[in-house]
Structure 1
């Protein structure tokens, strides 16, 4: 649809809904054709702008509201002109039709033909014959008979709720505006349904940088009389909005009867089922995204915790006098005091030396790379080789399943007791403390 234009003369406007400042204004357009001569000299062209200025000069006492080029060929230029009211149309036609134009630099004169613009609007014969001849229509059912108007190019801002802070059109406002012609059974604004484009693959609105510009709507009347009155009132009219400051603007809208059963009971039910399926799919996608996000956050938290705990253990173990706190480590029959506790088999792993006597204090910690895992940190006494084979076989694997670590992480002063160690089918070892 064309952009809205300023209206200076509102004397012919017909009230549609004064509460929302909406009116109907007659379309006062004319079609002007200018025949072009054959260009004999190469490289010479006729300026469309110069032709337009000559047409404006031919109506000296009046002026066009809008004048634009609708079609341009080598043989003619067609213009669409609009004036303020119907009374000026005849005066403009008298000044333009049958007249000639002389352009500078051309010996030939240009003939001008002007006529009132023919409006493309369906007639009663059109919809009666369509619904009568259509084999898949049942005129006893709503939506399959002439009762629904299809409107295109309605400005969103004009149909928005006042004081709502939104420029989205409202079905409530649409009903209030068009119930003037009769009781309304149902209305539909496709752009308000977030799933409609996905269901049909169509774009139901036009975007601008700041928001929506216009929309399309369907209005279904309960009685045939309401449909007839609405079509008769909208014929040859454009929509005008008059603000609180008294300024008025108007825009052209396209009006037709619905031939697609858009508001039939079967179509409404079908859209509801499709919308329900899309909602379920969207919920599943959101739930999947939520689970993935939680898993990523949990993994990052675990990695941060491992690095922080390793640094903490290392700092505590290197504190002055820590080894001197003695716990029977110097005894000849002391238990082996090395235990590796990584949450993941990466360079963030930490080798923790734990005193395995009664107190089982953490004595020393140092970073341990996964590649260094099989290397013994210290030697064991011959008396304790059996214990080493039973428990410290964990050194021979390169990863430790994090889910097998139960209880709180190891800290300085914690007591450790190896209850069991068994190999999983995947080759990892599960250790239970």
Structure 2
């Protein structure tokens, strides 16, 4: 029995040797086709250089710098020097994507590479009084984000206070402070990196609520670099005068003093001088509560489509549910793809909020390859991203529950053809992309 095993082993080794010999000879021929022309070029160059120096008498049989080994080493050093800037030796450390600046990463770049610098409104400067005032703004928190676009884009060169016209707001870049100035006109402030509304309010000496009211913002609003916001000269609100307005009525409506309105807007002592259609500033005024109850809000939709029902799946131990109406995974999480791709559906397949949270991004376009995408903030530094959708069913500021339908599957962005209909799903924890399958099942 042992002899039979030994014979079979020897026979297997013989066949293995033949196979390896055949593969080796074929591999050698391939290398020969590639490197023989290169060797001929370098050999020809070496011969010409040596011949030139021999003719000029600058060399001898012992010239070390013309030896082939030395020249090969020199060529090797030159290649290393040229290749070094393309390696990860010069790459900055990025905990979210290890080796993303290396040459290999550039040759096999991810499907999406999306980055944006958002400045989140921080409400760390509310005083108890401002909290009460901000509560009035809270009732308007869920209004569609485009309701006030026309107001924000209008020219303010024709606003009039009393009998004196305001000039066009002064444009200020970030970093300037007018907290102790005696301004009587509003200014436009350009958002810079590191800004938040609380710090801007302190810088200009006005309340945070004043900035929120004047710019139709909420505590959940997101500021963009280069965005312009209007800063009033004092804490308060602006009011467009209508027929029948009197100072006493305005003071009662905005809960302030008549003398403050008269003095700041340079009106007559009895409050006369109000002109219908003009704008005045109400110092220390408080914006009145909206007459529409918050419970009567309508969630804005994109695409004006009927929203499919919510997911009936049970959440995992971490509180997440599967984010789509289908479960076919076509691409898993790896070093080059920081998400999972879920396919098998069509343009009517629902995309679910994997966990309850607030919509912080809901927009269409190229968006770095994401196409129409939604980003949800779940609190605690956890966010989820849903990319390539055909229609978005939520707007920025909406609060959605776990399993609620937020979009329809699609192939927008960096996707190829109808066969590319899928969901690109990411989970971020403190800005670092994590494997979604650690959260959903």
TM-score range, shorter chain: under 0.3
Of structures 1 and 2, the larger Rg is shown by: 1
TM-score by length of structure 2 reads 0.22
- Give 1 or 2: higher strand fraction: 1
TM-score by length of structure 1 reads 0.22
